[in-house]
Amino acid sequence: MSDINFLPSRYVELAERSRRRPMNFLAIGITAIALVGVWILSDRSTALAYRPQILQAELDQRASAKAEADALRSEMSSIQAQRVIAREISQPVSAAQVLATVAQITPHAIKLTDLELVAYHPTPRKAETQPHESAHAAAEPEYEPTWLKLTLSGVAPEQADIVALTRAFSEHPLFTQVRLRSSGVVQSEYIEARAFAIDISIDLDREFVPAASQEGASHANP
Amino acid sequence: MFGGNNKKSRRPIGVSVTLAGVRLAQVSPTADGYALSATAFEPLPESLSIDDANYGRELGYALSAALKQANFTGKQCVSAMPPESMHCKNIRLPKMPEAELAEAVTWEAKERIVLGEPASIQFYSAGEVRQGDAIRNEVVLLATKCSNIDAHVQGLTQAGLEPTAIDATGAALARISAGLGNTSFTVFAGTKSLEVVIARGGRVLLNKLLPVGEAGLDNADTAELAREIGLCLRYHTVTFRGEKPASILFAGEPVPDALVNAVTQALGIPATSLDEASGFSHHANETLSPWAVAAGLSMRGLAAPAMRGAA
């Protein structure tokens, strides 16, 4: 059989290439889709395979954070307690000193029937925050000075003794705001006397100086 | 037209280009053999030559118009360039293996065919012949300019066709007559030339182009043409010393009776119409003869038994 072909091979190759082009594009597309699919599946599979470890790690992390928060909270409570104790320890005037002073001032003729000493802890002053003030400034409250409230009840022979006692308390530098709250006659089967009640404030921003010292109570800091 | 359009059995479109026009034919298998399923003809401008710069463009226009005339299937085509653009020469080479033959033919063609520009060489290996005491290879050389091939391909691709091969008209005629006996003798009449093809089993043994002059076949010198055709047969008989063709097939344009008579008397063999001999199914109002080359091109690649089945 005669097999003549004058068609240059470049035309045959060109035609073959153009004929294969759609199939090549299709093959490339299918391959790309398959690769993406495989990648997605493998990625998903890997993610699922490591999911328990990831969840466990998150759980551990949260447990660790919780433990740390508990520790911090406990430490904060401890620090606050230490702060209260430290404040009470560092108080310039102790209850014993107050009682000693009261005993020193009170004449023998007057008998105390009740004594109440209440310490008022410092309370934060209401912050007068302005809109333009920073949060840092608002977060630092100022504290009122600590003070003690002393309430005395007793029996005196005469009203003059009560007045003298009140004056003595008022003149003593340790006490401020001495106020005779009540005074009245009390009678028993044998005697007649006057019962009284006095409210006294003691500011703690002052240093106690014992009366026995040479400096005297007048040197107490105002 | 009739015939199957099954994609598996679809044949390429045969595109035969002559200086008169383009003929397109597509064959398809039938129960009895093969049939022409689509044919079309579109003339080319009269003054057009294959060496013209606008040959490719004009060919493309003509092919586009021809493709619209019939229901052709597919875009693949096997085409043949105008016979006038082919340079044909019979040469004899020493006996050698097939692998070396192509190289030897190429070298020989450079010596014997000079076209003045790069050319493409193809050849038929006609077979072994005895020359004196030596056995030699008879080779039919075909050569054409590469620029003509490029212009031809440009026309095909411009029309949207996908050329799978550019064949020779002689090969197409040998193919179409392959089932007609051992040795076929075909004379294909064109408007300006006669192409003589002697083939055996589809193998071209002799391919000769005989110009008929500008006056055409009707006014040609019948005696001279008959003598030329007789020389072709004598060359074949002397060269191959085998079976003499039983008849001469006339195809292509209508051949004047005077020429047919002159040829049959000179050769001493009867004339046969291709339509009667080929066994091709075809439409009642249409003959295979003008489409012989295009149909042969469309049948390129078919095995020989299939073609014999068509006879």
The residue ranking higher by pLDDT, A187 or B3, is A187
pLDDT at B309: 32
Phi/psi for A195 (5° steps) reads -90, 145
pLDDT at A222: 40
Q: Which amino acid is at B46?
A: E
Substitution target from A4, A5, A16 for chain B, most B beta carbons within 10 A? A4
Cβ contact, residue pair B166, A15, below 8 Å: no
**Strands A147-156 and A111-120, sheet pairing:** antiparallel
Phi/psi for A156 (5° steps) reads -125, 150
pLDDT at B62: 95
pLDDT at A67: 95
Q: Cα angle at A161 between A105 and A165, to 5 degrees?
A: 30
Residue A58 reports pLDDT greater than 90: yes
Closest CA relative to residue A169, chosen from A197, A204, A206, A205: A197
pLDDT at A57: 94
Kindly state whether B156 is in contact with chain A, defined as any CB-CB distance less than 8 angstroms. Answer: no
Q: Region A194-198: what's the mean pLDDT?
A: 95
Please tell me which of the candidates B122, B165, B203 has its beta carbon nearest to residue A1: B203
Residue A144 reports pLDDT greater than 60: no
Chain A interface, Cβ < 8 Å to B: 1-8, 11-12, 15, 19
Number of neighbouring beta carbons within 10 Å of residue B264:
16
Helices within chain A (DSSP H only): 9-49, 51-89, 95-105, 135-138, 159-171
ipTM: 0.85
Element (H, E) at A180: strand A176-187
Please state, in angstroms and rounded to a whole number, the distance separating the CA atoms of residues B249 and A54.
Answer: 90
> pLDDT by residue (tens digit) across B133-170?
888 888 888 999 999 999 999 999 999 998 989 999 99
DSSP B83: G
Number of neighbouring beta carbons within 10 Å of residue B58:
17
Residues 257-296 of B with CB under 8 A from A: none
Q: Compute the residue count for chain B.
A: 311
Structure tokens at B217: 């076949």
Helix (H) and strand (E) counts in chain B? 9, 13
Please tell me which of the candidates A2, A7, A8 has its beta carbon nearest to residue B171: A2
Sheet holding B119-131, edge to edge: B87-94, B134-145, B119-131
Please tell me which of the candidates B120, B146, B174 has its beta carbon nearest to residue A2: B174
CA atoms within 13 A on the CB side of B22: 33
Please state, in angstroms and rounded to a whole number, the distance separating the CA atoms of residues B166 and B145.
Answer: 13
> pLDDT by residue (tens digit) across B76-109?
999 999 988 888 888 888 888 888 888 888 888 8
Token match 């020779």: residue?
A: B168
A192 - beta bridge partners? A187
Mean model confidence pLDDT for chain A: 82
Please tell me which of the candidates A1, A5, A19 has its beta carbon nearest to residue B166: A5
**B162 contacts in A (CB within 8 Å)?**
15, 19
Cβ contact, residue pair A8, B164, below 8 Å: no
DSSP A94: -
Please state, in angstroms and rounded to a whole number, the distance separating the CA atoms of residues B295 and B24.
Answer: 8
Residue A214 reports pLDDT greater than 50: no
Residue A169 reports pLDDT greater than 90: yes
pLDDT at B282: 55
Residue A197 reports pLDDT greater than 70: yes
pLDDT band at A220 (very low <50, low <70, confident <90, very high): very low
The residue ranking higher by pLDDT, A131 or A83, is A83
Closest CA relative to residue B183, chosen from B225, B131, B143, B239: B239
pLDDT at A173: 86
The residue ranking higher by pLDDT, A220 or A57, is A57
Closest CA relative to residue B263, chosen from B288, B231, B237, B241: B231
pLDDT at A11: 85
> pLDDT by residue (tens digit) across A91-130?
677 788 888 999 999 998 899 999 998 877 666 655 555 5
Residue A165 reports pLDDT greater than 90: yes
Phi/psi for A65 (5° steps) reads -65, -40
Please state, in angstroms and rounded to a whole number, the distance separating the CA atoms of residues A4 and A10.
Answer: 16
The residue ranking higher by pLDDT, B10 or A2, is B10
Mean pLDDT of successive 10-residue stretches along chain B, which has 311 residues = 52 91 89 83 89 91 94 92 88 86 86 84 86 85 92 93 92 83 84 88 87 80 88 86 81 86 88 71 68 91 47 27
pLDDT band at A70 (very low <50, low <70, confident <90, very high): very high
